[in-house]
Amino acid sequence: MSDAPASTGHADPDRQPIWSRPERGSRGPAPAHSRDAIVAAAIALADAEGLAAVSMRAVAAALGTGAGSLYRYLTSRDDLLDLMTDRAVGELRPYPQVEGDWLETMVLLGRRQLALFGTHPWLLDVIHRPSGIGPEGLAWFDNCIRVLEPVRCPVAAKFEAIAMMTGVVSLFARRESAAGAFSFAGLDLAAHPHLVAAFSQPSGPAPRANLVERTLRSLLSGLLITESTEVG
């Protein structure tokens, strides 16, 4: 035992973000696992049983080890969630070539995002945490900025528009995964005349497709085009 050990081998409060931390040092035996294997196991669990099933114990069990062992590779569960998110965002590659209108390209990117939320529904529970962006997220962001290059407006507006696009896509994704979940059980529906009147009205045509596209188009053009004409 040493009097003043430089490191206990465990987490200290202020560490660099995981993106710049090396996977392992230069000494000691080869690790039995890898960040990638852990993240893959966690994503498989989340895809199959939801984010709540991604406990340190469950992920560790999927790799045949104990929960505490994972902390040789990660500093916290949040780290794991960040890694999962960035890896999923990486599935947005390859980015489509820019051809024709930038708006159409952005809408295409939005549809890609929507599809990603479909294959990894747990992303909806994870993206709202305040957390540093990862390298794949940064690359996606860079790509969006590239697509928006011909648009003449402040950078801040482009940032806002990209964030809002992601947000709106997440709203649509949530609607699809929830699928009209909310019920009126136990409530006095009759006390709300406008609601019952609306329900008794002929339902009209079914909600059309391409709603996401149209929404994104009007949102992005509203945020980016009419931008330069008015200054508050």
Partner DNA sequence: TGTAAACTGCGAACGTCGTTTGCAGTTATT
Partner DNA sequence: AATAACTGCAAACGACGTTCGCAGTTTACA
Positions in the binding site for DNA (CB under 7 A): 2, 5-11, 24-33, 54-58, 65-69, 71-73, 75-78
Dihedral Cα 227, 228, 230, 231, nearest 10 deg: 100
User: Among the candidate windows 49-57, 99-107, 110-118, 123-131, which touches a copy of itself by CB under 8 A?
Assistant: 123-131
Q: How far is the CB of 64 from a copy of itself (least distance, A)?
A: 30
| Binding of a copy of itself by 64 (CB under 8 A) | no
| Binding of a copy of itself by 11 (CB under 8 A) | no
Q: How far is the CB of 39 from DNA (least distance, A)?
A: 14
User: Among the candidate windows 5-13, 33-41, 69-77, 185-193, which touches a copy of itself by CB under 8 A?
Assistant: 185-193
Burial of 179 (0-12, 13-18, 19+ CB in 10 A): exposed
Contacted by 182, from a copy of itself, DNA, none: CB < 5 to 8 Å by type: a copy of itself
Q: How far is the CB of 12 from DNA (least distance, A)?
A: 8
Which one of 75, 105, 113, 143 is in contact with a copy of itself (CB under 8 A)?
143
| Binding of a copy of itself by 119 (CB under 8 A) | no
Per-residue interface string for the shown chain with a copy of itself, residues 192-221, x marking contact by CB under 8 A: xxxx-xxx-x-xxxxxxxxx--xx--xx--
